[in-house]
Structure 1
Amino acid sequence: MSSFFRTESSLDALRNILTILIPSLTIFIFWDGHIAIAFAVGVLLASLTDLPGNKSDKFTTAIYCIPIFFITALATSLPLHFESWTIVLLLGIFGFVYTIIALLGFRINVIGNLGLIVASFTIGLRPSDPFEFSLSLTMGAIFFFMVCLAQVYLFPHRSLRYAVEGGISNMAKLIRLKIDCYDEDVPLNKSYKQLSALHSRVSDQLESVRSILLRDKRLLDDGNAYSKRWLGKLYQLVDLYELLMAVDNDYESIRQTLTGGKTLATIRRSLAILAFETSRLMHSTRDKTFRTIGTEELNRLFAQLDADRMHANEEKAALIYSISKQLTQLSDILQNIHISKIATDDSWIESKNFKDFVAPRSSFQTIIKNLNFKSPIFSYALRMSVLLIAAGLIGFLLPEYRYASWILLTIILVARPSYNVTQKRNYQRIVGSLIGIGVSLLLLVFIENTYILFAIAALCLYLFLLFNKPNYLVCVIFITVTILLGQKLHEGELHDILGSRFAFTLLGSILAVLGCLAIPINHYRSVEQTTASLFKHFREYISKIQESYDAQNLNHYDLRLLRKFAQASLAQSYDSLEQFAKEPLRGKVFKADIQHLQTLAYRINALLVGLSVNITKLGLTWDYEAMKAKLMHVEELIEESEQLAAKLAQRKRNRERAKIRFQTSK
């Protein structure tokens, strides 16, 4: 519990609730209630756009968010005021534009999504004065960003610190998963699937740390020791990831070679201690160091591995030595990761090359290139536009248009490119709404005091902000209670609100599912692109490893960059294959091949990282024939993956031809 409440998102939730309540209550008491509500909505929605980042990121969010909020609020409230049908057309435009701008990056994607929610809230509140409402909402957003920017100036490395700690937390999970790889009783397919899924999260976490740190101009100043210390932590995280991913041989081969005796059990026990001690580093109430007892037991286990190596045959001894070296270095990094001063080594790259390790920014040209049906995001933007127009038309036919806000809000929050994710969000929203309505009824039956109800609503708003990222179902429960109690306090009546909340939420959920089926997204196009990119990066990586071995001249910059590209491509490929596997009509047919391809990709990456780590970090050397055999094994796996991808493509084309023939015959 202590660890959860000390995370960045939890502390941000506390900041956000104070930023919402203090000024809004002041305006409500001393000025005007309608202005206070609009101001509070502006602060609330602006706070949901705030993602971890540096000063530049916060400025970018503010620059995009403030005008989008003002334009959306004004453009929505004016037709509402004049009861004009143009509101329906505007919803369609907003749905397309605010979805397609996701191509500019995840931060802009979130802002666009919140822009749509501004339109929904505006319809729900139905302001009597469009200009007063729009300005009040925008001032709320401006006030939030003033607080946010002040915080980032006072604590410039706050997000970076939490990103590094998040990386360490994911590494602890990765170590725990690695234990099963050395357990002969655990099926390897299960381990590979779990490791592949976690790999995506670790990749995102490392990308977050890189993005925040490597765009810091102060790193180019050799005199800035503080930034250099953070850079050292990034290197340690990357090295830690490499060591955890690296293997000398496939785990099947490792299990066969080390079967019998206690070597596998010793390795599992070593990893268990490393995982436990790593998780302890996340507890702020304890010293961020390994316990003495943990270090002592690790040393004993490493000594046992050395003893096993001395009594093993040549092949087994070489494998034990390699694994032991990796475990020892893993322990050293984890024990030193919180040391304030980290010495550089030959593997560090020059500061002028930092930009190569940061994902390039997208431009508006990217949007123009994606304005066609071959682009998944274009199909999704068109779907959102059609859904919001449909919801707007339904609302226009209702006696009170404001109830359409529930339909719109549900579509905005649950309609996702993937059918599977949309269904999951639908379930969470419907169940969360039902529980929230039930809790609200109980509170209103037993509590009549206005101040107590207001305090409960404020507490539920804080809990919504607290659980907004970790658990969507829980956050729906709390925001439902907040809204229903707030509307009861504001309007006095609740019968219509309770019925409309659930009925129109259910209608929005149905429309979101119908949208997935009516305008499906061809996830296979993403699969083709990401797998082709992955195979290309694998071949470039193996070529550089072979070149480094042959020339006996390590180029750490090239090896790090190619490893980073392969890692990012693997994460993208895994995600696209996962989306394709979850397609409602075709995914199940290809599921076995997809899982096999994901497993092969993970194994190839692990072997490539293992080769790279062994020649750069562990100082292991192989003779020419041994190195040639290892490289040929990886090449064979890459070829097998390419053949499987081609088979997948052929099967898909055959099914599409069969479908066309069937439709033609009908």
Structure 2
Amino acid sequence: MHYALNLRTFFYSHYFYLGLRFAGGLIGVTLLTLQFADMTVAMTVCIGALCTALMDMPSPLRHKFNEMSASVLLCSAVTLLISLCAPYHWLLMFMLVAVSFAACMMVVYGRKSMPLQLATLFIMTMSMEHDMSVRESFIHTGLFTLGAVAYLAYAMGISWILRHRIKQQVLAEALFELAAYIDIKAHFYDTDKDLTEQFNQLIRHQSLLADRQQASRDLILRSHNNAKDAIVVQTHVCMLDLYELILSTHTDYAQLRAHLADSPVMKTLHDLAYKAARDIESVAYDVTRKKASYPEISYEPELDAIEAALAALQQRIDAGEPQQEALAVLRAQRNKIRAIIRMIGELHQASQKAYDTTPFWADADMGPFLSQQKYELRMILSHLRWDSPIFRFSLRVAMAITAGLGVAWLLPYAAHSYWIVLTIVIILKPSFSMTRQRRRDRIVGTVIGCVITALILKFLNYPAFILAALVLSTVAMPTFVYLRYRYAAIAVSVMILLQMYLLAPDNHHLIMERLIDTFIGALVATAFSFVLANWEYQSLPQLVRTVLEVNLRYMQASFDLLQGKGKDDFAYRIERKRLMDSLAALSSALVRMLDEPARKQRAVEDVNLFIVQNYLLVAHVAALRAILRRHTKELPVAQVNAMLGESHGQVVEVLTHALGAGNGEHAQVSQAGQASGDALMSAAALSAQDAPAAASALVPWSGWPLVQRRIRLLQADAVQIITHREAILRDIA
């Protein structure tokens, strides 16, 4: 369950704060307007505030102002344009289609433009029913703009006051998702759980975790000027370091199951992971409550049990049993878990003390860590081509709206074309899977909302209760729109139907008419979701190539760091972040593809394994960092660097072959991949054979076996990347 759906944390989450801010602004603007005008004017002002409120999301203050200002200007322009065209039916139909197409093209600017697209289409549908003169159109637009500007000023003021609080809440959300990530990893120690299925769950959650970590970066690293900001910066950095340590455990599960499947120590490892997740949750919970966090969980019983298991394995080895591999794997896991526990302790400490300055890289450019957003016209123009998914989506929406208007005009009963169009624009999304999910939630939410409204009007039709229901639904709608859209659909249905009832209390068919219109809009949207569709498998080759390109840069930065070539790990952190983002994008595409028709799914298993293998490379690098940190005593720097340099060269050769192979025919892909794979496998095997001799010839050092084993695994997993890339290309072809 999502952390914000738990009552213990719900009222501290930024989702609930957003709902309160949203409702306070809308209700406040409406009530203030009612002091000077009638209900019709107040509703116009309220809709202006509502369109601006759709852009009210956790963002840096400057970004929030720019985004909400864009909404004010664009929605005001659309309101005026549609109002002026409304008296001329043919012109109105043309402008509705044109505005729909232009609004959908804004999706090229990324996820943050989606609320702006929705606000534009929403006000377009709300304005299409008004038959006004030119003078009335300008007055109507002025009232709309007044409400939009009023909410902009209100939201910016509240956000400035709560700017540090919002940082805490977004950071806490990233910590809660990290705890959920560890909960999934805990099941890797449960031998009753299928290992492949657990990997699948982990990969799906990875996309969400990457998104939450990026939201935390964007808020926290853009402006950190005082001691309170320094606390959240330090906590954020500790969270990322902890995440890397958790990644380093990713490579040992299969070996643990192979050697210790029947041992009670597996249950102990599961319990340790579960406790670690709860410990991180306690930090997140204290961060949301603006409190310093202190450790309350003891790991000693489980750690003592692991030490006892290690001692028992050593006794078996002394007795002549071949348990050396099991001992090495369990010992390595013990060391990683101890490092994770220590880092969780540092996470607690980071929340406890105020810092004079932000404990981050001095004078470093944070730009590479942050989401870069450029709103340039040439980005839209570059997508005005037939093979652009955004262009095809825009055409799809424009055609669906045209069809929806035609259906409304042909129906024998007085259909509300604006409601049909609104349903279409809410349901129809750029990807088939998003459309499918939104359609299901919209229909179910609307039905439930209609039933609730009918019950209120029949049994609880009192002004005070209707007002309370309006306030509650107004708070619930923005609160759940990013958590559970179905709940938001219920709330918005209740809110709009009650508002319509207050404006037209004599319409006894209000609920049934809107319900029928919703089903018509959903049917049209479903039909057009197959028109000019872009299936996820079509984007897989480019996404896979991007992962390989970023992985090459990541490997270079990683081995530079391992060999001590840089003054700090800043470049490594940048490339790690980029690799995790590219893997999250590929994971998201895979998850969306699984929601598409079976005949449109390609290479599902190989894409999944390709993602896993790339994660394993990250895990091997993290493990190598941990090993080198743990065995710094008498470290033979020259010899270790030579081994790392040779391994780096081999891995880079494989990844380069994989990238180069994509430029030829699929037969050539297979030959190149097989050749490079065979070469590296031979090199890895030779390394394994020569390892004991090399170790004895070099300076004695306790870390040699661990480093050599990790490098062999790194090389072997790099080879598997080629194999799965070949299979993906063949299946798509």
TM-score by length of 1: 0.89
Q: Quote the Cα distance in structure 1 between the aligned partners of 2:560 and 2:22.
A: 53
Report the equivalent of 2:258: 256
**Residues 1:188 and 2:201 are matched in the alignment:** no
Q: Which among 51, 68, 89 is matched to residue 74 of structure 2?
A: 68
Confirm or deny: 8 A CA contact 2:55 2:68 kept in the other structure: no
Question: What code does the residue aligned with 1:69 have?
Answer: C
Contact 1:46 1:65 in 2 (8 A): yes
The alpha-carbon deviation at position 343 of structure 1 amounts to 8.1
Q: Which residue of 1 aligns with 2:713?
A: 633
Report 1:362-373 matches (<5 A).
362-364=374-376, 365-373=378-386
Q: Does 1:271 pair with 2:351?
A: no
Q: Bigger shift: 516-525 or 177-186?
A: 516-525
- 8 Å CA contact 1:376–1:523 kept in 2: the answer is no
Partner residue of 2:293 out of 286, 289, 295: 289
Q: In the aligned structure 2, how far is the partner of 1:636 from the partner of 1:489?
A: 69
Amino acid at match of 2:513: S
Q: Is the 8 A contact 1:214 1:355 kept in 2?
A: no
Q: Which residue matches 1:649?
A: 729
1:341 to 350, 353, 356: 353
Q: Which moved further from structure 2: 89-98 or 551-560? A: 551-560
- The verdict on how the C-alpha distance between 1:289 and 1:324 changes in structure 2, with shifts beyond 3 A counting, is farther
Deviations 1:154-209 (A, max 9, x none): 23223211111001111111121111112222111111011111111111111111
Q: For the structure 1 residues 227 and 287, does the alpha-carbon distance in structure 2 shift closer, same or farther, using more than 3 Å as the test?
A: closer
The answer for unaligned runs of 5 or more in structure 2 is 1-6, 315-323, 644-690, 692-704
SS at match of 2:366: helix
Provide the C-alpha distance between the structure 2 equivalents of 1:618 and 1:46, rounded to a whole number of angstroms: 56
Structure 1 Cα separation of the partners of residues 581 and 448 of structure 2: 40
Distance 1:433 1:262 in 2: 51
| Whole-angstrom distance in 1 between the partners of 2:374 and 2:392 | 19
Is the contact between residue 193 and residue 598 of structure 1 (CA under 8 Å) also seen in structure 2? Answer: no
Partner of 2:319 in structure 1?
none
Following superposition, the deviation at residue 3 of structure 1 comes to: 1.3
- Equivalent residue for 1:176, pick from 173, 183, 187: 183
Whether the 8 Å CA contact 2:227–2:355 is kept in 1: the answer is no
Give the match for residue 352 of structure 1. Answer: 364
What letter is aligned with 1:201? Answer: L
Alignment partner of 1:424 out of 419, 434, 437: 437
Deviations 1:551-597 (A, max 9, x none): 67675122212211111111011112222333325334543334333
Q: Indicate the structure (1 or 2) with the bigger Cα radius of gyration.
A: 2
2:577 is aligned with 1:576 = no
- Which residue, out of 328, 332, 337, partners 1:322? 332
User: Deviation string for 1:451-504 (max 9, x for gaps)?
Assistant: 433332332222223322221112212221222222122112333432321222
1:473 matches 2:491: no
Distance 1:467 1:135, change over 3 A: same
Query: Structure 1 401/246 Cα, relative in aligned 2: closer, same or farther at 3 Å?
Result: farther
Secondary structure, in 3 states, of the residue corresponding to 1:247? helix
In the alignment, structure 1 residue 44 sits paired with structure 2 residue 46:
no
1:594–1:433 distance in 2 versus 1, CA, 3 Å: same
Helix, strand or coil at the partner of 2:430: coil
| Structure 2 residue 547 is matched with structure 1 residue 540 | no
Q: 1:577 to 1:299 in 2, by over 3 A?
A: same
Shift of residue 64 of structure 1?
0.9
Pick the aligned partner of 2:219 from 205, 212, 216: 212
Letter in 2 for 1:301: E
1:17 pairs, out of 17, 23, 27, with: 23
From the superposition, tell whether residues 85 and 248 of structure 1 become closer, same or farther in structure 2 (CA, over 3 Å). closer
Match of 1:6 among 1, 12, 25: 12
Say if 1:115 and 1:78 are closer, same or farther in 2 by CA, change over 3 A: same
When residues 28 and 397 of structure 1 are mapped into structure 2, their CA distance, relative to the original with a 3 A threshold, is farther
How has the CA–CA distance of structure 1 residues 42 and 460 changed in structure 2, closer, same or farther, with 3 Å as cutoff?
same
**Cα deviation digits, residues 237-273 of structure 1 (max 9, x gap):** 1112112222273421232244454332222121121
Aligned counterpart for 1:228 among listed residues 223, 226, 230 = 230
* Residue 32 to residue 615, structure 1, CA distance change in 2 (3 Å): farther
Aligned 1:573-652 pairs, distance under 5 A: 573-584=586-597, 586-588=599-601, 590-615=603-628, 624=643, 625=691, 626=705, 627-652=707-732
Match runs of 1:289-308 below 5 Å: 289-290=293-294, 292=296, 294-295=297-298, 298-308=299-309
2:730 maps to amino acid: Q
What do residues 35-83 of structure 1 show as CA deviations (whole Å, max 9, x unaligned)? 1001111222221211111211211112211101101111112222x13
Q: Deviations over 1:577-627 (max 9, x none)?
A: 222333325334543334333433443433333334444588697975453
CA separation of 1:249 and 1:423: change in aligned 2, threshold 3 A: closer
Structure 2 counterpart SS, 1:372: coil
State the Cα RMSD in Å.
2.9
* SS of alignment partner, residue 469 of structure 1: coil
Return closer, same or farther for 1:517/1:553 CA change in 2, 3 Å cut-off.
Answer: closer
Specify the code of the residue in structure 1 equivalent to 2:170.
A
**What is the Cα deviation at residue 632 of structure 1?**
4.2
Distance 2:363 2:413 in 1: 60
Name 1:100's counterpart in structure 2: 105
Letter in 2 for 1:99: C
CA distance in 1, matches of 2:453, 2:143: 29
In structure 1, give the amino acid aligned to 2:332. S
Counterpart of 2:466 in structure 1 is 453
Greater alpha carbon shift after TM alignment, 244-253 vs 390-399 = 390-399
Q: Distance in 2 between matches of 1:55 and 1:139?
A: 21
CA distance in 1, matches of 2:466, 2:80: 32
Change (3 A) 1:50 1:553: closer
Distance 1:61 1:618 in 2: 50
Distance 1:502 1:381, change over 3 A: same
Is residue 128–residue 418 contact of structure 2 (8 Å, CA) maintained in 1?
yes
TM-aligned CA distance change 1:607 to 1:381, over 3 Å: farther
Given candidates 547, 551, 565, the residue that maps to 2:578 is: 565
Between 1 and 2, higher relative CO (CA 8 Å, sep ≥ 6) is seen in 1
Instruction: Give, in whole Å, the separation in 2 of the partners of 1:632 and 1:326.
Output: 19
Corresponding residue number in structure 2 for 1:482: 495
Q: 1:551 to 1:425 in 2, by over 3 A?
A: closer
What is the letter of the counterpart of residue 195 of structure 2? L
Structure 1: 5+ residue runs without aligned partners?
Answer: 654-666
Deviates more, 1:58-67 or 1:614-623: 614-623
**CA displacement at 1:520 relative to structure 2:** 0.8
Paired residue for 1:513?
526
Give the TM-score, by structure 2 length: 0.81
How do 1:48-197 residues align onto structure 2 when only pairs under 5 Å count?
Answer: 48-80=54-86, 82-123=87-128, 129-197=136-204
Give the direction of change, closer, same or farther, for the CA distance of 1:7–1:191 in structure 2 (3 Å limit): same
When residues 233 and 283 of structure 1 are mapped into structure 2, their CA distance, relative to the original with a 3 A threshold, is: closer
For residue 101 of structure 1, report the CA deviation from its aligned partner. 1.6
Contact 1:277–1:290 (8 Å) recurs in 2: no
Percent identity, please.
20
Deviation at 1:318? 4.0
Q: Distance in 1 between matches of 2:478 and 2:566?
A: 52
CA apart distance, 1:300: 3.2
CA deviations over 1:89-115 (Å, ceiling 9, x no partner): 222222222222222232223212211
